[in-house]
Amino acid sequence: MRALFITATGTDCGKTFITAGLLRHLRGAGIAARALKPVVSGFDPAAPQGSDPALLLEAMGEALTSASLDAIAPLRFKAPLAPTMAARAEGVRLTLEDILRPCAAALASATGPLLIEGAGGVMSPMAEGATCLDVIAALRIPALLVSGTYLGAISHTLTAYAAMQAAGCAPCAIAVNESEGSSVSFREAEAELAAFLPGVPLTPITRGEMDFSPLAAACGLLR
Ligand SMILES: Nc1ncnc2c1ncn2[C@@H]1O[C@H](COP(=O)(O)OP(=O)(O)OP(=O)(O)O)[C@@H](O)[C@H]1O
Ligand SMILES: [Mg+2]
């Protein structure tokens, strides 16, 4: 079973944009890919449209219902904070097991590639005492690191890569997602990263990217 954990150098880097793009590409190729967003914060139950789970369901061609929401994003919290803090605001103390349980269940029942979107950046707290990186390490599935071309992205990317490598979870690929209003040229940022990360697959994603075939291949989702 192919699976991929989608993490990033930080929040708003394009994890959902890229996960949805991969889902559409794979499903368009007849591959029954599905997504899971185990924990989502900043989720307004009165207006779920446009949320990460809603966008992922749309990319899967599924209607937004309470059942489909429960399946794709079982842990949903209102405050636009890191998951631990958003959960605590509702009197919930998230454990690592709370996050791993739905991931393991989705992995066990998957009939095609499963794309799991993290929350925030690679070391954002996902549960009490556990970052996103701890979740990746516990799941033991390949991870995609989404980075950007915003000023400071190279340092964030190299830091994230080093942390992932140290935890034995070096990313299988890095998606260099062109940031809005980037002050660094897209190609220049990619070339700079390549010089520091020789041999690491870097896949450019332009603004409004439509072709997710190279990224799907780089992540081994087409095999
Ligand atoms: N390559 C791109 N082209 C056009 N828009 C993009 C691109 N990448 C990201 N965006 C847009 O930027 C915004 C932030 O991206 P997105 O929601 O995918 O980030 P995220 O990493 O999933 O954030 P979060 O940490 O909240 O889950 C969204 O409006 C998304 O549509
Ligand atoms: Mg997202």
Determine which of 1-15, 26-40, 61-75, 179-193 has the lowest per-residue pLDDT on average. Answer: 179-193
Pocket test of ligand 1: the residue of 6, 11, 17 to mutate, having most ligand atoms within 8 Å of its CB, is 17
Distance from C-alpha of 1 to C-alpha of 221, rounded to nearest angstrom: 10
Give the pLDDT confidence score for residue 190 in this predicted structure: 84
Q: Is the residue at 39 inside a domain?
A: yes
Q: Is the residue at 33 inside a domain?
A: yes
Exposure of 49 by Cβ count < 10 A (0-12 exposed, 13-18 middle, 19+ buried)?
A: exposed
Per-residue pLDDT tens for 37-63? 999 999 999 999 999 999 999 999 999
**CB-ligand 1 contact for 209 (6 Å cutoff):** yes
**CB-ligand 1 contact for 207 (6 Å cutoff):** yes
- Is 37 catalytic? The answer is yes
Is the Cβ–Cβ distance between 56 and 37 less than 8 Å? yes
Please state, rounded to an integer, the average pLDDT across all residues of the chain: 96
Is the Cβ–Cβ distance between 144 and 136 less than 8 Å? no
* Nearest atom, ligand 1, residue 20 CA: 18
Which ranges of 29-148 does DSSP label H, i.e. alpha helix?
A: 52-59, 66-72, 83-88, 96-109, 132-139
Mean pLDDT of 91-101: 98
42: left (phi over 0), alpha (psi -120 to 50) or beta: left
Helix, strand, or coil (residue 174): strand
Is the pLDDT at 184 greater than 90? The verdict is no
Torsion angle of the four alpha carbons 14, 19, 24, 27, in this order, in degrees rounded to the nearest 10 = 170
Helix, strand, or coil (residue 116): strand
Q: Is the residue at 223 inside a domain?
A: no
Is the Cβ–Cβ distance between 15 and 8 less than 8 Å? yes
Q: Is the residue at 75 inside a domain?
A: yes
Q: Is the residue at 179 inside a domain?
A: yes
Is the pLDDT at 102 greater than 80? The verdict is yes
Strand ordering across the sheet containing 3-8: 34-36, 114-117, 3-8, 143-148, 173-177, 202-205
Mean pLDDT of 111-118: 97
- Reported as a pLDDT band with limits 50, 70 and 90, residue 181 is confident
Give the pLDDT confidence score for residue 1 in this predicted structure: 56
Give the pLDDT confidence score for residue 101 in this predicted structure: 98
Mean pLDDT of 203-220: 96
Torsion angle of the four alpha carbons 77, 178, 161, 144, in this order, in degrees rounded to the nearest 10 = 60
Q: Considering its fold, how many domains does the chain have in total?
A: 1
Write the residue with the smallest CA distance to atom 16 of ligand 1: 14
The CATH number that applies at residue 109 is 3.40.50.300
Q: Is the residue at 48 inside a domain?
A: yes
Write the residue with the smallest CA distance to atom 1 of ligand 1: 207
Q: Is the residue at 212 inside a domain?
A: yes
Partner residues linked to 177 by β-bridges: 148, 205
Q: Is the residue at 32 inside a domain?
A: yes
Structural domain span for residue 15? 3-218
**Burial code of 167-199, b = ≥16 C-beta within 10 A, e = fewer?**
bebbbbbbbbbbbeebebebeebbebbeeebee
Is the pLDDT at 132 greater than 80? The verdict is yes
Q: What is the DSSP secondary structure assignment for residue 50, as one 8-state letter?
A: T
